Amino acid sequence: MKLPIYLYGSEVLKEPAKEADLNDREMLMTLVEDMKETLASADGCGLAAPQVGKSLRVLIVDGTVVADVYDYLKDFRRIMINPVILEESEAVTEYSEGCLSVPGVYADVRRPSKIKVEYYNGDLEKVTEEFDKFACRMIQHEMDHLDGHLFVERVAPIRRKMIARKLQSISRGKIATRYKSKIEQ
């Protein structure tokens, strides 16, 4: 089922998500399938459970939608339940990011170039995996959502000032999206 994507200003996006109960497999798999359908309909490359109103530590990333630019992501899809970053590189990269919860806003964000993450996959198996390049960025962006943060909090202060009016418009519902969305304060 396609779920509405919560927009900037929604309370669920500001709070740290709770660990998902691995014993509630049916609920988790339903949530993951709904998130996949929602992400596909919105043409995004990642989605975290708080973005669909569920304060749980669940995220999905799908690099196949950007494989025309990053061919190494042509088969890259991950379901991550209760992910934890174990290590991150000191080296950082900067890249322009956008977000389905902050439509029409793009800004450069500096993030570690490499990370090591421990998580449970869609089969509820514990996995430890290292990521770099754009896969690393997608995962870090979605993990920020699990901690109650949005990418616009990571931009340079001058850029934040430049996008302030747009953020206000989004939080007041004065934005049109091509996907089902909502604001809940």
The full 3-state SS of the chain, as one line of letters, equals CCCCEECCCCHHHCCCCECCCCCCHHHHHHHHHHHHHHHHHHCCCEEEHHHHCCCECEEEEEHHHHCCCCHHHCCCEEEEEEEEEEEECCCEEEEEEEECCEEEEEEEEEEECEEEEEEECCCCCEEEEEEEHHHHHHHHHHHHHHCCCCHHHHCCHHHHHHHHHHHHHHHCCCCCCCCCEECCC
Active site residue 87: no
Residue 141 annotated as binding site = yes
Considering the candidates 33, 88, 97, 142, report the single residue annotated as catalytic.
142
Residue 149 annotated as binding site = no
d(CA 114, CA 93): 9
The residues annotated as belonging to the active site are 142
Q: What are the binding residues for Fe cation?
A: 99, 141, 145
Q: What are the binding residues?
A: 99, 141, 145
